[in-house]
Amino acid sequence: MKFFIVDDSLAIRAMLSEIIYSEGLGTVEGEAEDGIEVSKELLRDKKIDILLIDLLMKERDGLETIRALAPEFKGKIIMISQVDQKDTVAEAYLLGIAHFITKPINKYEVVSVIQNETKHYLRAKSIANIQQSLISLTDFHHGTVVEQSIESNTITKPKQEVHSSGIIHNGNNILMELGIVGDSGYYDLLNIIEYLFELENQCDGKFQFPSLKQLFKQVAYEHCQSFNNSNCINKEAKASEQRVRRAIHQALNNLASIGLTDYGNPIFENYASKFFDFSQVRMKMLELDGKATCNVPSRLNIKKFIEVFYLEAKDSIIK
């Protein structure tokens, strides 16, 4: 993995570089002491995978820098700062950061976060490559359904493994249609439906959805296995919720955009009223069209979205 570090403290940059090299996490391809020194062209030319960036800097802070880099920069962004106000952290996640680490730096937390984000980043690239291969194969066979023949290769696997991979496959397809594959909350959503599927299979009686708090703590536990304590789990659970919230907001925005240009689009017709209250989708459409008198309320029903997402992914397996 290739890293770029932006922090106005030479000591912090040196500490992060030492952690990256000593733990074998990758290579540091460049450093900067202010966000004004960083551009999307620079990160592209250096083929940066992960950007580590401070929040407070003199000329251009971390949030302004992320805005300047989006959406061209496709790598992961990890923000490191002494500031941990709830509003600031929430804004950072809405802008697309993958994780927020509070100073003073804890080596084990940095290692755990980078290892998990590296895993997610590589998984996203792998999925993108597979999808591209499927498109090429589909084109080659003039529209034949290649996915079915690929899925048939899993018949010899144990039943639980087939189902688990099946719900992830279906979940990925749904998130692709919603336009949020690769988003920072994408992996959290897939981890959640995988956990729900395993939980339901273990239930003897009627299955009940766990609380959002339990779901996000479960995702956090998976992320914090190499740094396993309650502080890490609680902090990661909040981060997971922020990532999922951002992904859901993006899904709403994408569906509204589709409906605005093609009201009869099957994706819009199938998902808009399932995942969201349609009045909220309609308001978002008016906002995007410049006709809304006020912004769409930011409070979304996260539990409803997750429940619908899980049921849709599971229903595809049953069919």
Of the chain, the percentage scoring pLDDT greater than 70 comes to 80
Q: Is residue 127 part of a domain?
A: no
- Out of 64, 84, 106, pick the residue that ends a domain: 106
pLDDT, tens only, 63-94: 999 999 987 888 889 999 887 777 788 788 87
What CATH number is given to the structural domain containing 32?
Answer: 3.40.50.2300
Q: Is residue 178 part of a domain?
A: yes
290 lies in the same domain as 162: yes
- The Cα–Cα gap between 281 and 244 comes to 18
Q: State the Rg of the chain over Cα.
A: 21
The pLDDT confidence band at residue 309, using thresholds 50, 70 and 90, is very high
Q: Is residue 142 part of a domain?
A: no
Q: Is residue 13 part of a domain?
A: yes
- Tell whether the model's pLDDT for residue 16 goes beyond 80: yes
Between 278-288 and 266-275, two packed helices, what is the crossing angle to 10 degrees?
Answer: 120
Average pLDDT over residues 95-100: 84
96 lies in the same domain as 163: no
The pLDDT confidence band at residue 148, using thresholds 50, 70 and 90, is very low
pLDDT, tens only, 178-227: 988 766 788 889 889 988 888 888 876 678 888 898 888 887 877 666 55
**Pick from 125-129, 273-277, 281-285: least confident:** 125-129
Range 224-231, long-range pairs (CB < 8 A, 24+ positions): 224/112, 226/108, 226/111, 226/112, 226/115, 227/108, 227/109, 227/111, 227/112
The pLDDT confidence band at residue 14, using thresholds 50, 70 and 90, is very high
User: How many distinct structural domains can be found in the chain?
Assistant: 2
68 lies in the same domain as 193: no
Q: Of the candidates 291, 276, 306, 290, which has an alpha carbon nearest to the alpha carbon of residue 185?
A: 306
Q: Is residue 190 part of a domain?
A: yes
- Tell whether the model's pLDDT for residue 32 goes beyond 60: yes
Q: Is residue 269 part of a domain?
A: yes
70 lies in the same domain as 161: no
- The Cα–Cα gap between 11 and 157 comes to 51
Q: Which domain holds residue 277?
A: 157-318
The pLDDT confidence band at residue 159, using thresholds 50, 70 and 90, is very low
302 lies in the same domain as 175: yes
Highest mean pLDDT among 7-11, 96-100, 214-218: 7-11
pLDDT of residue 126: 63
pLDDT of residue 158: 37
